[in-house]
Structure 1
Amino acid sequence: MIKVLSLLMLCMCIKADNGKCEEVTSTCAVVTCGTHSSSGLPGRDGRDGKEGPNGEKGDKGLQGSRGIQGPPGKIGPPGVKGEMGSVGEKGDPGRSASSEVEVVKGQVKALEGQLHLLQENFNKYNKILLFHGGKKSGEKIVVTNGQEETFENAQKTCREAGGKLATPKNAAENIAVQEILQTKGDTAKSYLGISDIQVEGIFKYLGGEKISFTNWNLGEPNNSKDKEDCVEIQDNGKWNDIPCSLLRLVICEF
């Protein structure tokens, strides 16, 4: 009995540090006296205690994910107006469409003048060639320097003069070469710009084309002694194949 009363008193008053008692009856369970019985109902939760002291500062946590970009800020004030730059140099005056046409006309007129001058010089050159014994046939002029050369040297002489060995491509041109030979004597002969050096029996012009006109002597070409690869024209206008090493009168065409 005494023990039961003591327990009731303990539940009614708990001595605090300041010597006062605080009622805690609402936190104590009801104790029944009497014989031992089964356990009673659980009591209610007690009041929260006093706030304890702050704990120690914890370690820095992991960096969180980047947040959503915020809205744009307000437009800033306008910048200060810069100083005006220095004035540039004055450009060339432009040309109108009509002035461009006039320039082109002037250039065309100048070219026409140059062309006319070239034509005059060409005609004068032709007259000089004819004056010195040259012969004209169509657009060609044939002339001799009076020297005798081998086939190779005769080619070189004509090439350096701006022409090439006489190469008749029709009867009129052949006669023009013949007339020059007749002024040099009965035995005068000249190389033509024709040979079968590349392929035996196939005579071609120096440019490589097959010949389109011939005036062979009877029985020619015969390639005598298998050494006749070049062609000469005689004072009678007939052709004959001969060795390329013989000396013949140089006649060039321009």
Structure 2
Amino acid sequence: MWVFLQLARAIMFSYLPCVLTAIAVSLVTCHAQCKCPGISGLLGRDGLKGQPLLWGLLSLLGEQGKWPQGLPYSPDTELYNMLVNLKYRLSRLEGVLALTGKIREVGEKILASNGKEVDFASALESCEKAGGTLAAPRNEEENKAILGIVKQYNRYAYLGIKGGETSGQFMYIDGTPLNYTKWHPYEPNGKGTEKCVEMYADGSWNDKKCNLYRLTICEF
């Protein structure tokens, strides 16, 4: 039970069935003496070598705990009951975090902020270390969810959007073109000198220099 209690702390608000499936697969395939440092893809951006995504989110929020170094082989029927109980407990913990305002859920995304104001590079780095990236709205619903955090802290926030090679061209951090925009009237107007994007307190966007301090909001 110790392993599952530790695992519950590490992935507090993951409720996706595929996460539980991955845990089960890992348990079945690991030898009794092997070490399984993470679950590929779902819990860490770098697979087995990466920091678990949800554990990183807890670190961003200031939670403490230890990720177990190994998972024991246990194919008996008790495993199924443990996983069902784990899913139930995690869904409750997720509800608590959402209720207290530590996280916001929108679609399949989870948004969170550490409340810190830093430059763009530092904001992106802290999100990536936590297993996510800077929040970037891809529709009106996501824009409103990010705006909710901006209003909560009453601070403008950097978005996960960067200027391209062409003046006035912007794209997501992963290099894909924008499929949604919410530019403030007459923006962007930096003419290629303002490569980052911030969100105003009304939810509109403005192109801005990347060395200013803005609120960090991550998405997972």
Give the TM-score normalised by the residue count of structure 1: 0.51
- Contact persistence 1:197–1:230 (CA under 8 A): no
1:136 alignment partner, SS class: strand
Unpaired runs of at least 5, structure 2: 1-73
The structural deviation recorded for 1:162 is: 1.7
Asked whether 1:150 is paired with 2:119, we answer: yes
Question: Higher helix fraction: Structure 1 or Structure 2?
Answer: 2
Q: 1:121 to 1:200 in 2, by over 3 A?
A: farther
- Contact persistence 1:165–1:193 (CA under 8 A): yes
Task: Give the aligned partner of residue 135 of structure 2.
Answer: 166
Aligned residues: 146
Specify the structure having the higher radius of gyration (Cα).
1
2:207 alignment partner, SS class: strand
Task: Give the aligned partner of residue 91 of structure 2.
Answer: 123
**1:51-84 CA deviation, whole Å, 9 max, x = no partner?**
xxxxxxxxxxxxxxxxxxxxxxxxxxxxxxxxxx
Unpaired runs of at least 5, structure 1: 1-105
Q: Which amino acid in the other structure matches residue 94 of structure 2? A: N
Q: 1:108 to 1:207 in 2, by over 3 A?
A: farther
My pick for the range that moved more, 141-150 or 190-199, is 190-199
Asked whether 1:242 is paired with 2:211, we answer: no
Task: Give the aligned partner of residue 158 of structure 2.
Answer: 191
The structural deviation recorded for 1:245 is: 0.8
d(CA) in 1 for partners of 2:200 and 2:162?
A: 16
Q: 1:228 to 1:138 in 2, by over 3 A?
A: same
**1:24-51 CA deviation, whole Å, 9 max, x = no partner?**
xxxxxxxxxxxxxxxxxxxxxxxxxxxx
The structural deviation recorded for 1:109 is: 5.5
Task: Give the aligned partner of residue 140 of structure 1.
Answer: 109
Counterpart among 190, 203, 209 of residue 170 in structure 2: 203
Higher relative contact order (CA 8 A, sep 6+): 2
Q: Which amino acid in the other structure matches residue 222 of structure 1? A: N
- Contact persistence 1:145–1:251 (CA under 8 A): yes
- Contact persistence 1:144–1:250 (CA under 8 A): yes
Q: 1:120 to 1:159 in 2, by over 3 A?
A: farther
The structural deviation recorded for 1:139 is: 1.6
d(CA) in 2 for partners of 1:169 and 1:109?
A: 42
Identical amino acids, percent of aligned pairs: 37
- Contact persistence 1:221–1:241 (CA under 8 A): yes
d(CA) in 2 for partners of 1:246 and 1:108?
A: 55
The structural deviation recorded for 1:235 is: 1.0
**1:189-210 CA deviation, whole Å, 9 max, x = no partner?**
0011011144433211111111
d(CA) in 2 for partners of 1:112 and 1:200?
A: 56
The structural deviation recorded for 1:133 is: 3.6
d(CA) in 2 for partners of 1:222 and 1:195?
A: 14
2:153 alignment partner, SS class: coil
d(CA) in 2 for partners of 1:120 and 1:160?
A: 28
